[in-house]
Structure 1
Amino acid sequence: MTASTFLPPSSFPPSSSSSVNNSSSECKMDNTSLRLLLAVFYSLFFAVGLVCNLFALWVFLFMHPKRNSVRVFLINCAVADLVLLACLPFRVSYHARGDKWVLGSLMCRLVGNAFYVNMYVSIMLLGFISLDRFLKLRGKGRAKRGFGGTLCGRTRLRTWAVCGVLWGVSFLFFIFLVIKAKTKEGDSGKCFHYKKSKGIPYLNAVVVFLFWVVFAMLIISYAKIAARLLQVSRDRPDLPNAHKYVRTAKKSFFVLFLFTVCFGPYHAFRPVYIHSQLSDDLSCGYERLMDCTNELVLLLSAFNSCLDPVMYFLLSGSVRRTAVQALGHRLCSWACMDASAKLAHSSTTEFRRPSMAVSLPGTAPNTPSATPRTSICAMNATLRRAGATMLTPTGH
């Protein structure tokens, strides 16, 4: 799709300025050098993010028994990331086809706006989490519960209400963007590209301002949380968990670091991008530069969906322990099954093939189970029957 047509003022003669505008009006967004890069990275983000967020959601819903406001926010954040990740295969297909969109105008608007809306839902939820943790740490009385509030001792009513309002406003915003967008977008074979506009950029400017408000709130909240934890660790070293407070403070700054790396470049570049959409005297080369830069910084924003599960487990020690226990149980089950199969194969082999015997208390010298190839588990079983002392593996 070409950019919007710019007509020079009638007072200007048809000079070089007019030719610039004409070339700009016919400018085609061609990101040939970025197609492969975008397709590969969006594919990786989709695969890794899908596995990690599904595992996180499984832990939150079925494995983690603790009910608190942070857990509710993390569940909603994982859902928002999964919806965003569902948009990535469409982008992969678009770039793999040579930036050709074949699904029509409606799907172009749905996928494109769903990506952006869920990105900002994640940003708002991260802001709510930081504010909730700050209120719980520094608040007094009812404020110390943060966004908490229970119903029948189970549901965090206030937290779910905040998330419900956020999702409701986001859905209305999504519907507005789908209806407001140009109907021809996607029909000409182009989607997710730079385009001129007069109304949407002002709305984007409001969203960018909202991001910087949330970002400032994160900086203040996590800085005060870290300062408070460091002060308690220094003033009360006799507390049972005092030695863990320094590590918790560092984790808070790591969360802020991830937020800055993923979303900071995109929103720092956004004002320049919005200004170019509102300008009528830009060259085609400058518009292509805006398009390429926007794609690169947007790639960093999509990368956040892969890093969010890491942040989930950093934010909550109980969630982290539950996840480790769940993975450890699965891995142990697989390892034990594999060890049992190997032991059965080894026992069958040793029974058929004679070997030099090792005498154990209460066993015959040439018993097949008393061979050098027998595992520690088999030896311990023999020793239990013989009433002897159990063997322990070397180094444990």
Structure 2
Amino acid sequence: MSGIQNGTNPQICSIGFAHWTFSVIPIYVMTIAVLGIVLNLFVLMVFILHKKACTVAEIYLGNLAAADLLLVSFLPFWAVYAYRYYNWTFGSVLCKTVNVSILMNVYCSIFFLVLVSIDRYFALVFPLSHAKLRGPVCAKGACFLVWVAGFLLSLPALIYRDVIHLGPNVTKCTVDPPSTTTLIDCMIFIFGFVIPVSIISFCTVKILKALRNRISEGLNTQKKDHKATTLVLAVLLAFLFCWVPFYLYKIPSVLRDRHILTDCTSKYILFISGNIFTYLGFFNSVLNPILYVIVGKNFRKKVKELFTKRKGERSATLSRSSIQTFLLFWSLASN
């Protein structure tokens, strides 16, 4: 914010009272990084190590956990960046990599939720058809396409993000040229919010309508489908709570970049709200695995079965070791 000019008038806008952000944000981001790495690794290990094959919904949620893990793994660099008053010291490669990981999480997270919503839509609205589309093979193929799409949509960050030296001790990891920021923000708003949220909203309305009709007609929804749908809706609500403010923030930020909002008060408000809404979005990467435990009954069952299995294997190993030790001592005593 400091040193920004408003178009034709060289007006300097100071961040002034916003200096508190440089002490609060690094601690918050580092906490999100540590919790996110531990929790999302835990989720992935449960899905990978459990003896039963993952359902289609679990394949999508597992990939969502992988996208969250990608984001939080690079957040420590961003925490240090904020701590140093946004002075980047990690070089050009990490500048591009960190921002690509953030953008890929933004895109892939919402795309995986689109896939989950479509799966629940077919499961509840058309339960007797589209069986092939709801199979594990198609699910894995769709996930691969999501990762490819997320990377392609993140290419502007890879191309235009770079390290810029603004002074002897000031190095920024920013978009160059600055005019490209508008293109990136518009892409995020359209492909990361408007289109996917429209699909999710359509599917969610149809899902809720189908559930209501089944209840009114006295039909029993399969317990498995009901549990999966409850978890999916909880994850969707969490995503919207954490990310919708960030997407809405993009509208005035584009007006600022196009020199329509030029006064220092507007820039100061956008600086504060941009920090709050961006880091609220990061919190979603920690909230998702917590929801799996709180809401996901099937996930809790898998965790219990996995730990029971590990405990049984450990007990069996200890028993075999004890028997072998006893036989060894017995043979020695006999001799």
| Secondary structure of the structure 1 residue equivalent to 2:19 | coil
SS in 2 for 1:321: helix
> What SS does the aligned partner of 1:184 have?
strand
| 1:313, distance to aligned residue in structure 2 (A) | 5.0
Structure 2 CA distance, aligned partners of 1:173 and 1:321? 37
Are 2:205 and 1:218 aligned? no
Task: Select the structure of larger CA radius of gyration.
Answer: 1
Q: Structure 1 or 2: larger strand share?
A: 2
Structure-to-structure mapping, 1:74-93, within 5 angstroms: 74-93=61-80
> What TM-score, normalized to structure 2?
0.78
Q: Which residue of 45, 62, 87 maps to 1:58?
A: 45
The one-letter amino acid of 1:100's match is N
* TM superposition score normalised by structure 1: 0.67
Distance 1:144 1:316, change over 3 A: farther
Alignment of 1:33 onto 2:33: no
Instruction: Report if aligned partners of 1:133, 1:146 keep a CA contact under 8 Å in 2.
Output: no
**One-letter amino acid of the structure 2 residue matched with residue 45 of structure 1:** I
Mapped pair 1:163 → 2:150: no
Deviation at 1:219, TM superposition (A): 2.9
- Show the 5 A alignment for 1:196-235: 197-210=178-191, 211-235=193-217
- 1:186 Cα deviation after fit: 8.6
Deviation at 1:69, TM superposition (A): 2.1
Is residue 160 of structure 2 the alignment partner of residue 180 of structure 1?
A: yes
Report percent identity of matched pairs.
Answer: 20
Instruction: Kindly indicate whether the alpha-carbon contact (under 8 Å) linking 2:57 and 2:228 is maintained by their aligned counterparts in 1.
Output: no
The Cα shift of 1:177 comes to 2.2
Question: CA–CA distance in 2 between the matches of 1:254 and 1:186?
Answer: 45
The structure with the largest helix share of the pair is 2
The structure 2 residue matched to 1:189, chosen from 167, 170, 173, is: 170
* Counterparts of residues 1-396 of structure 1 (less than 5 Å): 8=8, 21-24=9-12, 27=13, 31-63=18-50, 65-139=52-126, 142-148=129-135, 156-184=136-164, 189-191=170-172, 197-210=178-191, 211-236=193-218, 239=220, 251-279=231-259, 282-312=262-292, 317-327=297-307
Matched position secondary structure for 1:22 = strand
Q: Is the 8 A contact 1:50 1:85 kept in 2?
A: yes
Q: Is the 8 A contact 1:230 1:245 kept in 2?
A: no
> Can you give the 5+ residue segments of structure 2 that lack an aligned partner in the other structure?
315-335
Query: Per-residue CA shift, 1:177-233, capped at 9, x if unaligned?
Result: 222235527986354679983233133213212313322332332333233234324
How many residue pairs match? The answer is 311
Distance 1:126 1:104 in 2: 34
Deviations 1:293-349 (A, max 9, x none): 111101110000001113445776433311133356779999xxxxxxxxxxxxxxx
CA offset digits 1:324-381 (Å, max 9, x no partner)? 33356779999xxxxxxxxxxxxxxxxxxxxxxxxxxxxxxxxxxxxxxxxxxxxxxx
Alignment partner of 1:23: what SS?
Answer: strand
Deviates most, 192-201 or 170-179: 192-201
Find the residue that maps to 2:178 and give its secondary structure: coil
Once residues 236 and 222 of structure 1 are traced to their aligned partners in structure 2, the CA distance between those partners, rounded to angstroms, is: 21
Contact 1:276 1:282 in 2 (8 A): yes
8 Å contact 1:233–1:245 — kept in the other structure? no
